[in-house]
Amino acid sequence: MGDYEHTADVQRGPDEVFAYLADVSHLPEYFSGLEKASSTGGEEVAVVANVEGERYEGTAWMHADGDARSLRWGAERASGYHGELFVTGIGDTASRVTVTLHTERADGPGIRAGLEQTLADLKRILDGSGTERTG
Answer whether residue 132 shows pLDDT above 90: no
pLDDT, residue 133, reads: 43
How far is residue 73's CA from residue 34's CA, in Å, rounded to a whole number?
14
The CATH architecture annotation of domain 2-23+63-126 reads 2-Layer Sandwich (3.30)
Which parts of 61-107 fold into alpha helices (H)?
A: none
pLDDT, residue 78, reads: 55
Residue pLDDT, tens place only, 44-84: 999 998 876 788 888 889 999 999 999 998 876 656 778 89
Residue pLDDT, tens place only, 89-104: 998 899 999 998 887 7
Q: 131 has which bridge partners? A: none
Q: How confident is the model at residue 127 (pLDDT cuts 50, 70, 90)?
A: confident
Do 3 and 104 contact (CB within 8 A), yes or no? no
Element spanning 92, H or E: none
Crossing angle of helices 14-22 and 108-126, in 10° steps, is 120
Backbone angles phi, psi at 14, to 5 degrees: -65, -35
pLDDT, residue 134, reads: 43
Average per-residue pLDDT for the chain? 85
Residue pLDDT, tens place only, 23-37: 999 999 988 778 999
Q: How confident is the model at residue 9 (pLDDT cuts 50, 70, 90)?
A: very high
b/e string for 50-87 if b means 16 or more Cβ within 10 A?
ebeeeebeeebebebeeeebbbbbbbeeeeebebbbbb
How far is residue 103's CA from residue 48's CA, in Å, rounded to a whole number?
19
How far is residue 77's CA from residue 116's CA, in Å, rounded to a whole number?
22
Q: How confident is the model at residue 107 (pLDDT cuts 50, 70, 90)?
A: low
